[in-house]
Amino acid sequence: MPNWTKILNHPFFNMGFFLFVRQVTKNMDLDNSSYIGAIRGLYLGSQLLVIVLSFYLMSVIRKKNDTTPLRFVEPGAQNWDGSEKADTLINTTNMDYDIADVEKQLKQGFTAIAIVAFLHLKFGYVQPLLIQSIMGFKTFFMTKEARIHLFNGKTSSGELRRPFRVEGPFSMVSEKRQPKTDKGSIKKAEKALKAQ
């Protein structure tokens, strides 16, 4: 049986989906003013529904109230000059970690809405409205929090284990940028914190 999560999250799926929708909508008269209102309504309705689903997901997380402690070292970000900031020791709970991640997804969603609105209003592009009407749901349901809390994903091992791996385009994030959970890294960060 294929792993649908890996298939749907693969960058080539997104590119294939984009090309498919582009070919389907190529023959439609999207510039017709009678369609634009309906397409805008579809886009705004779908984005509003994704926002409502995100707040529902946060309420589910709060209702579960998983106060299991979560300690890890977040690697320091790289400065513009190439130097690196110090690693940060994070002490939190699973609930707080998941809520912070859902809030981060919400902020990314608002950024995407702003970009699509700019493309549509400034340049008159209509296809991004159609594509993002569907991709917003895919993005929401493929988040690790939705898979854990709505679809009862197992967090003991694999990609749903907290802290989540940092993901980049085409999986090009180095291991140095991943959160560290080993005791040696945590003790090193604690010593650095005490030395300050």
Give residue limits of the domains in the chain: 4-67+95-167
Give the integer Cα–Cα distance in Å for 151 and 132: 23
pLDDT digit string, tens, across residues 147-171: 999 999 888 888 899 999 887 766 6
pLDDT of residue 171: 62
> Alpha-carbon distance 159 to 143, whole Å?
11
Residue with tokens 């090309």: 19
Tell me, rounded to whole angstroms, the distance of Cα 18 from its chain centroid: 19
Cα distance between residue 100 and residue 108, in whole Å: 12
Which residue did the predictor score with more confidence, 98 or 76? 98
The whole-number pLDDT of residue 141 equals 93
**Which whole number is the average pLDDT over 61-88?**
88
Residue 66, pLDDT score: 95
**What is the pLDDT, as a whole number, of residue 166?**
82
User: How far apart (Å, rounded) are the C-alpha atoms in residues 193 and 63?
Assistant: 33
pLDDT band at 1 (very low <50, low <70, confident <90, very high): very low
Residues 109 and 50 sit within 8 Å (Cβ to Cβ): yes
**Global confidence as pTM:** 0.86
> What pLDDT sits at residue 172?
64
How much is the average pLDDT of 3-19? 82
Element (H, E) at 2: none
Distance CA 97, CA 101 (A): 6
**Model confidence over 26-59: pLDDT tens digits?**
888 777 788 899 999 999 999 999 999 999 999 9
CB under 8 Å to 138, separation ≥6 — which residues?
Answer: 8
List C-alpha distances in Å: 84 to 77, 193, 195. 6, 16, 18
